[in-house]
């Protein structure tokens, strides 16, 4: 009888200990780490341009921020080459278009408190520096892309398009995007998007994922893990871009989801259009025998669950070594992932 009492007392202790170890794994001591964070409000520079002195002022902007201006002209506005003087003329009507100017003003207004985001970006960069001490982190430039992209890296810089984070109540989103898309266009996703871009910089999909669904599931699962590492207190709803209802549904039917993926024989599927059904953003996962209640990108979520299982089996694994592991079959097999039906 004494043995059972001992076990009953000990079991909660081990549960607490296991929980603490998992929490500590994602909360290393970074008090001695400080990344050199540089943020430039390129969008604020654009909105200040005087139409009457445009050429002179834009040339000055190019001298001040040559790489960002190159990115803006060549990749965002697609106005030509930065060293072609005609590009400046092509760019002028884009910058001073009435709707673009209105977008600049709206962005300035909604991000008047942008400074409150800087500590969160700094903390994410501190974690990046902790895990990748030899890496030179990019300078960050905020910009406006006329809804062209959220965040991207270019050469040694990282650009964030603030017009993609104006809040899902922004009046023009509804006419340009579907609701399932613009519900993510909120400032809570800004820092996570910076981290997502850094993940693709460290681990390009072409190099770290194969051409079948399982490999891409593991890749996207690793991206979620990377977010957990760099923003330890980030809610799962933000990490997976799910509502609470969607996340609850996925967790409740996890066993059936996995069973159906196996039953549909799609884990090793290589046809892009078939894979996209399980990984692309949409109102729901539009795949055979998956109900409309199933949230989109369900295979990416399952990929993260596989990784969670793996890390529970191997709590001492080095996270950076794990992220670099390309053998997705090995990860699945060692995870012993088999959720209950």
| Residue pLDDT, tens place only, 36-94 | 999 999 999 998 999 999 999 999 999 999 999 999 999 999 999 999 989 999 999 99
Q: Which residue has the higher pLDDT, 210 or 3?
A: 210
Q: Please say if the pLDDT value at position 228 is more than 80.
A: yes
pLDDT at 21: 52
pLDDT of residue 23: 58
By the 8 A CB rule, do 158 and 87 touch? no
Instruction: Give the CA distances from residue 24 to residues 19, 36, 191, 311, in Å, rounded to whole numbers and listed in that order.
Output: 9, 25, 22, 13
pLDDT for res 14: 43
Where are the domains positioned within the chain?
39-202, 205-335
142 neighbors 152 (Cβ within 8 angstroms):
no
Residue whose pair of structure tokens reads 């080459």 in the numeric block? 81
Q: How many CB atoms lie within 10 A of CB 281?
A: 13
Instruction: Give the 3-state secondary structure of residue 95.
Output: helix
DSSP string, 271-325: -HHHHHHHHS-SSS--STT--TTSPSSHHHHHHHHHHHHHHHH-TTS-HHHHHH-
Per-residue pLDDT tens digits for 158-191: 999 999 999 999 999 999 999 999 999 999 999 9
Tell me how far apart the alpha carbons of residues 48 and 32 are, in angstroms, rounded to a whole number.
39
- β-strand partners of 161: 143
Cβ count within 10 A of residue 71? 22
CB 49 within 8 A of CB 94: no
Alpha-carbon span 44 to 108, nearest angstrom: 7
Instruction: Tell me the C-alpha to C-alpha distance, in Å, between residue 292 and each of 42, 76, 136, 177, 214.
Output: 42, 36, 44, 20, 22
Sequential DSSP letters for 16-51 = HHHHHHHHHHTS---TT------EEEHHHHHHT--G
| DSSP 8-class letter at 185 | -
Task: Please provide the DSSP assignment of 235-267 as one string.
Answer: -HHHHHT--HHHHHHHHHTHHHHHHHHHHTT-T
Give residue-wise pLDDT tens across range 87-138: 999 999 999 999 999 999 999 999 999 999 999 999 999 999 999 999 999 9
At 252, the pLDDT band (50, 70, 90 cuts) reads very high
What does pLDDT average to over the chain? 93
For residue 141, give the 3-state DSSP assignment: strand
297: nearest Cα among 337, 240, 230, 249: 240
CA quadruple 44, 46, 51, 56: dihedral, nearest 10? 110
pLDDT at 22: 56
Alpha carbon distance 196, 27 (integer Å): 19
| Confidence band, pLDDT 50/70/90 cuts, at residue 17 | very low
**Cα–Cα nearest to 194, from 225, 223, 159, 224:** 159
Instruction: Report whether pLDDT(217) > 50.
Output: yes
- Residue 102 CA to residue 108 CA, distance in Å, equals 10
Interatomic CA distance for residues 190 and 60, integer angstroms: 29
């Amino acid at each position: 009888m004494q043995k059972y009492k001992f076990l009953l007392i000990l079991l909660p202790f081990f549960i607490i200990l296991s929980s603490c170890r998992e929490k500590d794994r994602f909360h290393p001591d970074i008090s001695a780490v400080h990344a050199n964070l540089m943020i430039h409000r390129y969008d604020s520079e654009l909105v200040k341009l005087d139409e009457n002195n445009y050429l002179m002022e834009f040339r000055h902007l190019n001298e001040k921020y040559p790489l960002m201006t190159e990115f803006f002209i060549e990749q965002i506005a697609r106005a030509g080459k930065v060293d072609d003087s005609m590009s400046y003329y092509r760019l002028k009507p884009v910058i001073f278009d009435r709707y673009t100017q209105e977008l600049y003003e709206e962005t300035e207004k909604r991000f008047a408190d942008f400074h409150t985001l800087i500590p969160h970006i700094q903390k994410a960069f501190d974690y990046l520096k902790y895990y990748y001490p030899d890496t030179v982190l990019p300078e960050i430039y905020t910009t406006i892309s006329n809804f062209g992209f959220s965040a991207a890296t270019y050469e040694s810089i990282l650009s964030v398009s603030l017009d993609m984070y104006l809040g899902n109540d922004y009046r023009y989103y509804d006419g340009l995007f579907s609701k399932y898309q613009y519900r993510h266009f909120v400032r809570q996703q800004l820092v996570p998007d910076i981290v997502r871009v850094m993940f693709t910089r460290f681990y390009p999909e072409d190099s770290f994922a194969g051409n079948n669904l399982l490999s891409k599931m593991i890749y996207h699962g690793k991206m979620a893990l990377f977010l957990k590492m760099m923003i330890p207190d980030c809610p799962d709803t933000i990490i997976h871009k799910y509502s609470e209802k969607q996340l609850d549904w996925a967790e409740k039917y996890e066993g059936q989801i996995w069973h159906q993926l196996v039953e549909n024989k799609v884990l090793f599927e290589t046809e892009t259009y078939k894979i996209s059904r399980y990984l692309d953003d949409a109102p729901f996962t539009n795949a055979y025998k998956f109900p409309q209640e199933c949230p989109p990108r369900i295979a990416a979520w399952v990929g993260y669950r596989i990784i969670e299982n793996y890390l529970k089996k191997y709590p001492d694994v080095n996270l950076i070594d794990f992220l670099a592991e390309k053998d997705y079959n090995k990860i699945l097999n060692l995870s012993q992932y088999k959720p209950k039906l």
